[in-house]
Copies of this chain bind each other. A is one copy, B any other.
Amino acid sequence: MNDAHAKLRGVKRIYRGVGKQPPTHALGPVDLDLKRGEFLSVVGPSGCGKSTLLDVLAGLARPDEGTIEFEGKLVQGEVPDGIGVVFQEDSSFPWLTVRENAGFALARAGMAPAEIKERVDATLSFMGLASFAESYPVQLSGGMRQRLCIARTLVTRPRLLLLDEPFGALDQQTRLLMGDELLRLWRETGATVLLITHALDEAAMLSDRVAVMSARPGVILDLVETDWPRDRDSRIVSEPSFGAVTARLWSTLRGESMKSMATQ
């Protein structure tokens, strides 16, 4: 596979317990190829190892088994250049204003202030945060803080964008708007996107492929291709085949979630 942007082979992750606790086998083995420029979503029951998958893929944690390659190079214990991550939990810096937060990575990379300002202003404004540029994160609502974290990563224009339930705290309409913005950016920048989400319709609507994960330890049960055109937006939900995709995801997932709630 020559066009694989990132490659996971036999990736496993096991958390050691504290004290006498037994270890938790959280993930894998997972084999997955992320094609260059594709939009892939991952869905799976709560606690199945989605965030763990993102961690090892980004190089934030080492897998206990298996290898990860990004752009042909092994990922080991360090986040490679070109990857951008939005975390599930709020990780905005409370000591910086919204604007400073958003421009943080750029400033550290030594970009010229004028260019930073331009990029940040543009991003904040389509994130609906323009009028809060001088506020601090504590002054934002939960959803606004989540949008800030997305903005902070988007401004860096990563080649591989990893998003962990980035719209979890947003209302449905805002979610749709954000989804469309994300699609637009994805088209414009040609980036590869991996989106972890718990909204099946969102996964179905945005993605080229959707990976369905099993209950913990998470392995990939199904990989659904959507065959949407590249030039799509949220109106795709009215396509007849949309229902088929969500139905397939739903049927696979249903059983896993039940299992996961029962055994955990």
Contacts and interface: CB of A to CB of B under 8 A. Distances in A.
Contacts of A128: 46-47, 260-262, 264
A90 interface: yes
A198 interface: yes
Contacts of A173: 45, 250, 253-254, 256-258
A143 B258 contact: no
A46 B174 contact: yes
A160 B156 CA distance: 45
A243 interface: no
Instruction: Using C-beta atoms within 8 Å of the partner chain, give the interface range for chain A.
Output: 35 or more
A208 interface: no
A18 interface: yes
A22 to B, nearest CB: 10
Nearest to A45: B171
Interface string A43-87: 111111111000000000000000000000000000000000000
Given A173-B257, A253-B172, A47 B165 contact: no
A144 interface: yes
B200 A172 contact: yes
A171 B141 contact: no
A47 B143 contact: yes
A141 B172 contact: no
Contact of A18 (B17, B46, B129, B136): B136
Per assembly, the copies of the chain total: 2
Contacts of A143: 46-47, 198
A177 B46 contact: no
Interface string A122-141: 00000011111011100111
A198 B177 contact: no
A139 to B, nearest CB: 7
Given A132-B264, A165-B169, 15 more contacts: A15-B139, A43-B171, A46-B170, A49-B141, A51-B141, A89-B90, A168-B169, A171-B198, A171-B253, A172-B250, A172-B253, A173-B253, A174-B198, A175-B198, A177-B261
5 contacts: A17-B139, A43-B171, A47-B141, A49-B141, A172-B200
4 A-B pairs with least C-beta separation:
A46-B143, A173-B257, A128-B261, A171-B198
